[in-house]
């Protein structure tokens, strides 16, 4: 099966796309997981680094205190190494001695009392103290430059992951979703092309037996059941119409003879009702058979003949236009289509309303225009007015559907709407006929075959 055109696939907006929603959900989930896990890992890492830094500071302080007390080493020569600050305080809080970089605090009150972190030489430093027996107190400070750099690096890495990972997840998720749902998109395009008036086609199944495979298989089983139900409905409808046809034919003939013998208005009305039921059964039969089974018998007839038949079937119609020409059509089918339009118009206009049928002919088209003085078509129906069993005038809802089918098999069209001056308006257009030698010969062949 060929892949659908890009324009067909692009008809689904990205914000309504299933693969976009899936990619977005996975992206948000990934963002939440990365945030929680990243913050947890970073907090654990920084806590461990802080513990290691504190352990290093305590170790340096213990080593310095031990070296000063037991071995009597001076502050400037302590085994603590470089990059560490120390001061000796007496019992009164005076600085007795300090490392060279802190000599400005010697012989002065201790400035960092009670502070665990202090700024030294433009850098933060963490402090601790140790008792030196009778000598006083040892104050030790260790710069936190490495710890601060580690915190900043971890924070930058986490922010970068929170920015880059969702974007990558969205792109990858969109691509993976497009590949995974490609079979579903192709099935949707094929389903759009299924003609319900024909035999219902099944959708192709993907090779992978995943959720998409299960969905399409379920849809195929549903389509098979729908086709079986439609076949049973058409069969039942055909049987009902067949059972009604014979009694209605007898009833129509009896009422016609009775109306000829008497002028009783009730008999005339009953004859019109019998005509109405006869045409309704024809519409039902047409619905049961379907459009493809509708046969056309072409004849070349005077327009006045068609007008006379319509005048008898739907009394009270005003005919306008030029009815002096000839028409190439199936007289029975065209009469059925126009009769359906006129009957709906008469029903909508009411007893005191007007119904007009205008005929206009050009070299290319023959146009029948039906107008009524009724309230017009409900705007919410739109094109649904031509669907079976959809009615805006209280009828069975079959007439307009059958009339459009008849127009279609004649190579014409049927449109409906509201006239500018009010009321409903239906326009049935058939192709015009330019007669010549070849056309005359083909018409004679069609008439002889019929």
Q: What is the CATH number of domain 193-293?
A: 1.10.287
Determine phi and psi for 85, rounding to 5 degrees: -115, 135
Q: How confident is the model at residue 199 (pLDDT cuts 50, 70, 90)?
A: low
- H-run or E-run covering 406: helix 399-409
- DSSP assignment of 85-141: EEEEE-TTSBEEEE-GGGGGGTTSB-TTTT-SEEEETTEEEEEEEEE-TTS-EEEEE
Mean pLDDT, all residues of the chain: 78
The rounded percent of the chain whose pLDDT value lies above 70 is 75
Ordered alpha helix ranges (H), 262-363: 265-289, 303-313, 331-349
Mean pLDDT for 412-429 is 91
User: Please, where in the chain does CATH 1.10.287 lie?
Assistant: 193-293
- Encoded tokens for 9: 């696939």
- Encoded tokens for 269: 């009305």
- Encoded tokens for 328: 């190439």
Please state which of the four CATH numbers 3.40.228.10, 3.30.565.10, 3.30.70.270, 3.10.310.30 is assigned to the domain occupying 295-449. 3.30.565.10
- Encoded tokens for 254: 């009896």
The predicted model scores a pTM of 0.45
**What pLDDT digit, counting tens, does each position of 82-108 carry?**
578 899 998 888 988 888 888 888 889
User: Please, where in the chain does CATH 3.30.565.10 lie?
Assistant: 295-449
**What pLDDT digit, counting tens, does each position of 338-367 carry?**
998 998 898 888 888 999 999 999 888 999
């Amino acid at each position: 099966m060929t892949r659908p055109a890009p324009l067909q696939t692009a008809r689904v907006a990205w914000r309504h796309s299933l693969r976009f929603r899936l990619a977005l959900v996975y992206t948000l989930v990934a963002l939440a997981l990365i945030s929680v896990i990243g913050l947890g890992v970073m907090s654990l890492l920084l806590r461990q680094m802080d513990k290691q830094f504190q352990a290093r500071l305590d170790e340096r302080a213990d080593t310095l205190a031990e070296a000063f007390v037991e071995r009597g080493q001076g502050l400037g020569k302590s085994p603590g190494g470089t990059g560490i600050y120390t001061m000796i305080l007496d019992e009164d809080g005076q600085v007795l001695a300090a490392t060279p970089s802190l000599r400005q605090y010697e012989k002065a009150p201790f400035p960092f009392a009670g502070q665990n972190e202090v700024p030294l030489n433009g850098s933060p430093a963490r402090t601790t103290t140790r008792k030196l027996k009778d000598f006083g107190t040892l104050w030790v400070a260790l710069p936190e430059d490495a710890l601060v750099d580690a915190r900043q690096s971890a924070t930058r890495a986490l922010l970068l992951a929170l920015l880059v990972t969702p974007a990558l997840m969205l792109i990858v998720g969109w691509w993976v979703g497009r590949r995974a749902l490609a079979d579903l998109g192709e099935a949707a395009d094929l389903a759009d092309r299924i003609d319900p008036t024909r035999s219902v086609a099944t959708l192709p199944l993907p090779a992978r037996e995943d959720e998409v495979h299960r969905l399409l298989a379920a849809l195929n089983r549903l389509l098979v059941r729908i086709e079986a139900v439609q076949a049973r409905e058409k069969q039942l409808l055909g049987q009902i119409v067949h059972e009604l046809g014979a009694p209605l034919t007898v009833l129509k003939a009896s009422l016609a003879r009775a109306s000829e013998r008497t002028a009783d208005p009730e008999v005339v009305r009953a004859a019109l009702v019998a005509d109405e039921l006869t045409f309704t059964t024809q519409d039902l039969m047409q619905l049961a058979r379907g459009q493809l089974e509708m046969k056309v018998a072409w004849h070349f007839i005077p327009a006045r003949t068609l007008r006379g038949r319509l005048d008898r079937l739907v009394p009270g119609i005003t005919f306008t236009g030029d009815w002096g020409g000839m028409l190439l059509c199936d007289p029975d089918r065209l009469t059925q289509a126009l009769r359906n339009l006129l009957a709906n118009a008469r029903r909508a206009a009411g007893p005191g309303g007007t119904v007009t049928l205008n005929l206009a002919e050009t070299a290319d088209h023959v146009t029948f225009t039906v107008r009524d003085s009724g309230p017009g078509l409900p705007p919410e129906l739109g094109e649904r007015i031509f669907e079976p069993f959809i009615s805006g005038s209280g009828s069975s809802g079959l007439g307009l559907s059958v009339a459009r089918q008849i127009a279609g098999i004649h190579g014409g069209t049927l449109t409906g709407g509201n006239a500018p001056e009010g009321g409903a308006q239906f326009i049935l257009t058939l192709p015009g006929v330019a007669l010549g030698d070849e056309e005359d010969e083909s018409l004679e062949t069609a008439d002889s075959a019929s």
